[in-house]
C-alpha cells in the first residue's frame, strides 16, 4: 500500500494530464472547452482513480460529455501512464461533480432567508416595544419602587 503523499501526488498529476489532454489532445466535439476537471482521487493502492468533472451547459451537454469521457477513457489512461511512469496505470472513473448543484441549492436557501428577513424587517418597522424600551432593572430602581409603595 502506498503512502498518502504519493497518492496525492499521483492524483494531482492525473488531474493535470487529463485536463491538458481534454483541452488539446481529444478531438471529440462532445467534450469541447465546456468540461472542467475539478478534482481527482486515487485509492491507497494506486490502482483506481476517480476524476470529478463539471460541464458548463444543460442536461443534454452533461450527458454528451459523460459519453465522450467514457469513449476517451483509454486514450486518457494511456496519457496518464506515459506521464506518471508507474508500474500500474490506474483505471479512470469519471464522476460528475455535484458542486454546481450544491452551490445552486445553497444560493436558493440564502435567497429564501433574505426574503424572510425582509418580511420580518417590514413587519417590525413601525412596531413598538411590548413593555418598556429598557426592560432591565437598574440599581437605583429598587429603592424608588419601594418608596412608592
- pLDDT at position 128 over 70: yes
Domains of the chain (ranges; CATH) run: 1-98 (3.30.300.20)
- What is the rounded average pLDDT of the residues 51-56? 90
The tens digit of pLDDT for each residue in 98-125 reads 877 788 899 999 999 999 999 988 888 8
3-class state of residue 17 by DSSP: helix
Task: Transcribe 95-125 into DSSP letters.
Answer: EE-SHHHHHHHHHHHHHHHHHHHHHHHHHTT
The tens digit of pLDDT for each residue in 69-79 reads 888 888 889 99
> Cα–Cα–Cα angle for 52, 57, 58, nearest 5°?
105
Of 75, 26, 71, 31, nearest to 53 (Cα)?
A: 31
- pLDDT at position 2 over 80: no
Work out the number of other CB atoms within 10 angstroms of the CB of residue 34: 14
- What is the rounded average pLDDT of the residues 12-35? 84
Cβ atoms of 18 and 92 within 8 Å: the answer is: yes
Q: Percentage of residues in the chain with pLDDT exceeding 70?
A: 91
Give the cell for residue 55.
Answer: 460541464
The tens digit of pLDDT for each residue in 54-69 reads 888 888 888 888 888 8
The pLDDT, as a whole number, for residue 137 is 79
End-to-end CA distance of the chain: 84
3-class state of residue 40 by DSSP: strand
| CA atoms within a 13 Å half-sphere pointing along the CA-CB vector of 106 | 6
The pLDDT, as a whole number, for residue 16 is 92
Amino acid at each position: 500500500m502506498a503512502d498518502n503523499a504519493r497518492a496525492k501526488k499521483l492524483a494531482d498529476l492525473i488531474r493535470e494530464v487529463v485536463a491538458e489532454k481534454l483541452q488539446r489532445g481529444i478531438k471529440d466535439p462532445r467534450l469541447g472547452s465546456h468540461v472542467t476537471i475539478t478534482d481527482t482521487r486515487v485509492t491507497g493502492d494506486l490502482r483506481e482513480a476517480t476524476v470529478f468533472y463539471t460541464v458548463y451547459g444543460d442536461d443534454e451537454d452533461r450527458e454528451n460529455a459523460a459519453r465522450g469521457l467514457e469513449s476517451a477513457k483509454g486514450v486518457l489512461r494511456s496519457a496518464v501512464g506515459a506521464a506518471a511512469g508507474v508500474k500500474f496505470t490506474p483505471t479512470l472513473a469519471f464522476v460528475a461533480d455535484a458542486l454546481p448543484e450544491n452551490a445552486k441549492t445553497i444560493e436558493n436557501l440564502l435567497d429564501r432567508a433574505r426574503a424572510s428577513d425582509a418580511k420580518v424587517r417590514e413587519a417590525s418597522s413601525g412596531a413598538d416595544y411590548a413593555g418598556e424600551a429598557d426592560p432591565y432593572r437598574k440599581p437605583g430602581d429598587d429603592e424608588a419602587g419601594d418608596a412608592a409603595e
